[in-house]
Amino acid sequence: MELAVYLVFLVFLVAFVGTFGRAFFRGAPYAPSDPRAIATMLGLAKPAQQDVACDIGSGDGRIMITLANYCERVDGYEINPFLVLWTRMRLRRRNLSDRVKIFRGSLWKADFTKYSVITLFGIPYIMKELEKKLLQELPKGARVVSNRFTFPNWKHAVKKDRVYLYVKE
């Protein structure tokens, strides 16, 4: 009996480390934005009905779901398969699956040319490369809000608490 408990624990441990460890080494670990930060992010981004928004590293989908109250369309990118599944279930329960989509995959392969609003809670070691990618791909006037972390060269237009607004010129 004791051996069975250890084996079950080991299976769950391997699954957990395999999933979250992969996310940790290939991108940011799951760390949800708190409701106050989300409110600040949306207050700075000022999403509107005509906007197409994207949440990079969308986690459990909470920012995507909130953006759906404002934007015509919302996409999210997440590499953790459990969080993608969880978000898809949340979207279905709220009847948002037609306008809000989550894609399982790397943000580095995503095409950001169609987005006018980007939200993210990145980590320092991805911000330099992400800055280059967004500046190359985003349309003029696009707004990017980053929770906590800054881009190394792109100067923010506004800082409120630990949230930064960037506007593509």
Encode pLDDT of 19-32 as tens digits. Answer: 444 444 455 678 87
φ and ψ at residue 22, rounded to 5 degrees:
-60, -45
Q: What is the pLDDT of residues 90-145, one digit of tens each?
A: 999 999 999 999 999 999 999 999 999 999 998 889 999 999 999 999 999 999 99
Predicted TM-score (pTM) above 0.85:
no
pLDDT of amino acid 123: 86
Which residues lie closer than 8 Å to 51 by C-beta, 6 or more apart?
70, 71, 72, 116, 117
- The CATH number of the structural domain formed by 29-167 is 3.40.50.150
Nearest to 107 by CA among 56, 37, 35, 161: 56
Q: What is the pLDDT of residues 154-168, one digit of tens each?
A: 999 999 999 999 999
Q: Give the C-alpha separation, 26 to 12, whole Å.
A: 21
Residue ranges of the domains in the chain?
Answer: 29-167
Amino acid identity, position 160: K
